[in-house]
Structure 1
Amino acid sequence: MTDRLTAPPPNGRRALLAGAAGLAAASLAMPALVRAQSSSIRVGEINSYTAQPAFLGPYRNGWLLAQEQVNAAGGIDGRPMETLFRDDAGRPEDAVRIAAELVASEKVALLGGGYLSNVGLALADYARQNKVLYAASEPLTDALVWSRGNRYTFRLRPSTYMQAAMLVEEAAKLPARRWATIAPNYEYGQSAVRWFKELLAKARPDVEFVGEQFPALGRIEAGSTVQALERVRPDGIFNVTFSTDLLNFVRQGNTRGLFEGRSVASMLTGEPEYLEPLGEECPEGWIVTGYPRDELDNPVHTALRDAYRARFGELPRCGSIVGYDTALAIATMLRKAGSTEVERMVEAFKGLRYPTGYGTGEVEFRALDHQATLGAFVGRTSLNGRVGRMVDWRYADGARYLPSDEQVKAWRPQG
C-alpha cells in the first residue's frame, strides 16, 4: 500500500502571501470550520516523489503553501481543501492503480499532479475512461492535451512544443548550422527533440541535424554519449537531459571539451533544482529555460518567496511554483464551479484564469485544448563564483508559443 503523505499541522501564526493574487495576508492556523475534515474537498495528488525528489519535494511544499493560504482565507465557500498525496515511484501502472484507490476508497473530487510524461499520459487515459477530472501539473508531453487530449484532462506547465519554440527563437539567431541532440529515451525527450528539429528547420532552413543520442532516463553512460556527440562535430547541441543525467553529462562534457566553441540550447537547465547541483561545473552561456528566482523581484513573487522561506526554511525552486500554481488553480476552479460535480468542474476549468506565483500576471486554461498559457523564463547560464545562475533572462508568455487553433483542432480528438 502506498504511504499517505500528510501535511504537518500548522504551528503558530505566520504572515503569508498577499497582493495581486488577491489573497489577503493571513495566519497559517486555520479556523475551526476550515479544520473540519468531514466537510473538506479532497484532492488526490499523484506524483513520482521517490523517483524525482529534487523537483517534487519543493513542489509538494509549494502546493501545501497555496492550500494553507486558501484555507486560512476561508477555504472553498467555507469548506477546506484537503490533499491526499501519493507516490507512484515513476511507474505508470502504479499511478493508475493509486488513482482508482483514491477515487473509489478516498472519495476524492478530482486528481492532480504527474511529473513524468508517460505517467501523465496514463493518468489522463484513466481520467478519460472513468470521467474523472485530472489537473496535470508537470508532464510536458504535447500528447497530453493534443493528440491524446480528452475532456477531463487539463495541463498547467508549458509543453515541450512551447519550450522548444522559446529556445528555437534564440537558437535561430546563432551562427550554428550543424546540430546534434541528446534527450532521455521516453515520451518527453522524444517529443522535445522532434519539435526542436522541426521548428528550428522552419526558422533556419540552412541547418542540418548530424546526430542524436537517446540515453535511458536515469542511466546515461555519459562518457560514451559525449564521445558519440563529439564524433559528429556539431556546431550546436540541443540538450534535454535533467537531474542526475544532466550532472553526469555536463561533467563528462566539461572534462572532454565537448562544449568548447559550441552553442548549447538546453531545456529546463535554468531551473534551480537542476542548475544549483552543477556548482562550479555550471557551463557558461547555454541558452536555457528556467526560473531566475533570486532576481525576480515583482511584488507578488517577492511575497511568495518570503512566505515560502518563512514556512519551509529555504528558498523556493521551480517545482515550488508549479505546485503552488496547481493548487491555486484548482481552488480557483472549485470556487468558480460552486460544486464538485465532475462536469461542472470541467466546464469551470475551461477558460479559467488565475494569478501565477511568478507574478507575471494571469494565466488562462484555454477552452480549445485545456493547455494553460503559463510561460517560462529564457536566459543564459553563468557561473557566479561557485554557483550557476540565469542571466540576461526574459519571461516568455506561453500564449505566444502555442500552435495555431487550426493546428490544434487537426491534432486533437473531437469530444
Structure 2
Amino acid sequence: MIPKPWRHALTAGLLAAAAAVLPAAAQEPIRIGEINSYKALPQNLVPYRNGWLLAQEEINAAGGVLGGRKLETLFRDDNANPGDAVRMAEELIAREKIDILSGVTLSHVGVALADFARQKKVFFLASGPLSDKVVWENGNRYTYRLRSGTYALATSVVAEAAKLGKKRWALIYPNYEYGQAATAAFKEQLKKLQPDVEFVAEQAPPLGKIDAGAVVQAIADAKPDAIFNVMFGSDLTKLAREGKTRGLFQGREVVSLLTGEPEYLDPLKDDAPEGWIVTGYPYTAIDTPEHRAFYAAYQKKYGDYPRLNAVVGYATVKALAAGIQKAGGTDTEKLIAAFKGLNFSTPFGPATFRPQDNQSTMGIYVGRTAVKDGKGVMPAGTYIDGSKLAPPDDVVKKLRNPG
C-alpha cells in the first residue's frame, strides 16, 4: 500500500500532468479530409486548392476556431472515379482520423460520396458537384452542398433566353448526369415561359469525346434560331473553335452554362465566343466588400487573378469554419444541426444553407462574353442569389430524399 504522503504527492503529480495535457489536446488541429479530381481537372482544381488554402491560412492566422484550434486539410485525388473516391474517404476516416469530409467537383463522384456519408454516418460538405441528386434524390441529412446545381444554373439563364423571343432551339450537352439534367431543366422552364418554343435538334456527345465537326454540322442542318449549350472544358474549346470556323454562331443567339468562367474562357484565347449569354465569373466587375478583400488577398498570395473554382474552395472553408464554430466541435450530429440555416461569408456576399435541402444560397452571375486584348472575358454580370433559383418548397419536398 502506498503511504498517505506519497499518495498525496502522486495525486498532485497526476493532476498537474492532466492540467498540462488538457490544454495541449484542446489545441489539436481539426483535420479535414478533402477529395477531388486534381489530376483530371487541373484547370479547375489548381485555383480551387489555392482558394481553399487562402481561406484556411486566414482563419488560422486569426486564431482558428473554438478558441484556438487550427484547421488542417488532407488532400486526396479521386482520379475522377467514384470507387477511388470512396476508398479515399474510408482511408481518411480509418487511418487519418479526419473530423470532417469535404470536396468533390464531378457530379458522379459527388453522388457516390453523398451515399458514403449516409452509410457511414459522417458529415460531408460537397463543395462543387453540380448534380442535384447530391441534395435531392440521393440527398441525406449528412450531406450539404455549397455550389448551386444544374436546376439553379438552368433557371439563372432561362429568363434571358425567353427574352430573346427565339422559337427554334438546338441543344448541345455532354451525355452524362450533369448535361442531361441541365438540359431537361432548361427545356421544362423555357416551355413554361415560351409555350410555342420548338427544340429542333439535340446533340449529346460523350463527355470529353466530342466530334466537333459532326456536332456543328448536325446543328447547322437543323437551322435553329438559337442554341443552348452545356459543353465545357476541352469539349467547349473544340465546339467553339469549330463553330466559329464554320459560322455556326454567326447571327444566332447562344445561351451557355459555365462558359463565362475563366477556367473555360482562358484556353480559347481570341477564339472565345463573343456575345453569348453565360453563367460565369466577372471577377473584374464584382464590387462587394467581400470580393474586393478576397481578390486582393488572392493576387497578393499567388500573383494571379482568381478563377471561379478559387471562390468555391475559399467559400467551402469559410462555411466549414462557421459550422464548426456554431456546433462547438466536430460531432456529426452537432454539425448537422449547426449547418441547418447556417449563415456564412463568401466572396459573393453572405449565404445560408437552406434547411429544407441542405443547399447553400451562394448564387450565380449571368452576363455576356466578349473578347478583349486577345482573350475571352465576361466583363460584367448580374448576380442572382441562390434563394431565388430554387424550386418551390413543395417541389423540393417531393424531390428530396428524407434520409
| Length-normalised TM-score, structure 2 | 0.92
Alignment of 1:323-362 (within 5 A): 323-358=313-348, 361-362=349-350
Alignment of 1:13-412 (within 5 A): 39-77=28-66, 78-358=68-348, 361-412=349-400
SS of 1:158's equivalent? Answer: coil
Q: Report how far residue 299 of structure 1 moved.
A: 2.6
Say whether the 8 Å CA contact 2:141–2:402 is kept in structure 1: no
Q: Report how far residue 377 of structure 1 moved.
A: 0.5
Q: Which residue of 2 aligns with 1:30?
A: none
Say whether the 8 Å CA contact 1:55–1:273 is kept in structure 2: yes
Q: Report how far residue 112 of structure 1 moved.
A: 0.6
Please say which of residues 397-406 and 209-218 is displaced more in the overlay: 209-218
Percent identical among aligned pairs is 55
Say whether the 8 Å CA contact 1:182–1:213 is kept in structure 2: yes
Partner amino acid, structure 2, of 1:311: K
Q: Which residue of 1 aligns with 2:14?
A: none
> Take 1:37 and 1:327, find their aligned partners in 2: how far apart are those partners?
21
> Take 1:414 and 1:304, find their aligned partners in 2: how far apart are those partners?
36
> Take 2:320 and 2:58, find their aligned partners in 1: how far apart are those partners?
13
> Take 1:197 and 1:165, find their aligned partners in 2: how far apart are those partners?
10
1:241-273 deviation line (CA, Å, top 9, x unaligned):
111111111000001111111111000100111
SS of 1:339's equivalent? Answer: coil
SS of 1:39's equivalent? Answer: coil
> Take 2:27 and 2:64, find their aligned partners in 1: how far apart are those partners?
14
Q: Report how far residue 392 of structure 1 moved.
A: 4.6
Partner amino acid, structure 2, of 1:376: I
Say whether the 8 Å CA contact 1:36–1:80 is kept in structure 2: no
Q: Report how far residue 35 of structure 1 moved.
A: 11
> Take 1:406 and 1:37, find their aligned partners in 2: how far apart are those partners?
44
Q: Which residue of 1 aligns with 2:16?
A: none
Structure whose residues are more often helix by fraction: 2
Partner amino acid, structure 2, of 1:400: K
SS of 1:343's equivalent? Answer: helix
Q: Report how far residue 37 of structure 1 moved.
A: 11
> Take 2:391 and 2:287, find their aligned partners in 1: how far apart are those partners?
31
Q: Report how far residue 295 of structure 1 moved.
A: 1.7
SS of 1:65's equivalent? Answer: helix
| Cα 1:37/1:292, change in 2 over 3 Å | farther
SS of 1:215's equivalent? Answer: coil
Q: Report how far residue 313 of structure 1 moved.
A: 1.6
Q: Report how far residue 391 of structure 1 moved.
A: 3.6
> Take 1:392 and 1:136, find their aligned partners in 2: how far apart are those partners?
28
Say whether the 8 Å CA contact 2:137–2:400 is kept in structure 1: yes
| Length-normalised TM-score, structure 1 | 0.89
Q: Which residue of 2 aligns with 1:8?
A: none
Say whether the 8 Å CA contact 2:259–2:278 is kept in structure 1: yes
Partner amino acid, structure 2, of 1:48: S
1:30-59 deviation line (CA, Å, top 9, x unaligned):
xxxx99997011010000011011011000
Say whether the 8 Å CA contact 2:82–2:112 is kept in structure 1: yes
SS of 2:369's equivalent? Answer: strand
Q: Which residue of 2 aligns with 1:27?
A: none
> Take 1:298 and 1:226, find their aligned partners in 2: how far apart are those partners?
40
SS of 2:381's equivalent? Answer: strand
SS of 1:132's equivalent? Answer: coil
SS of 2:300's equivalent? Answer: helix
Q: Which residue of 1 aligns with 2:12?
A: none
Q: Report how far residue 284 of structure 1 moved.
A: 1.4
Q: Which residue of 1 aligns with 2:19?
A: none
Q: Where do 5+ consecutive residues of structure 2 fail to align?
A: 1-22
SS of 2:69's equivalent? Answer: coil
Say whether the 8 Å CA contact 1:35–1:80 is kept in structure 2: no
Q: Where do 5+ consecutive residues of structure 1 fail to align?
A: 1-33
Partner amino acid, structure 2, of 1:53: P
SS of 1:285's equivalent? Answer: coil
> Take 2:53 and 2:139, find their aligned partners in 1: how far apart are those partners?
28
Q: Which residue of 2 aligns with 1:413?
A: 401
Structure exhibiting the larger radius of gyration computed from Cα positions = 2
Partner amino acid, structure 1, of 2:58: Q
> Take 2:380 and 2:301, find their aligned partners in 1: how far apart are those partners?
30
> Take 2:343 and 2:274, find their aligned partners in 1: how far apart are those partners?
37
> Take 2:115 and 2:27, find their aligned partners in 1: how far apart are those partners?
30
> Take 2:140 and 2:384, find their aligned partners in 1: how far apart are those partners?
27
Aligned-CA RMSD value: 1.5
Q: Report how far residue 219 of structure 1 moved.
A: 1.5
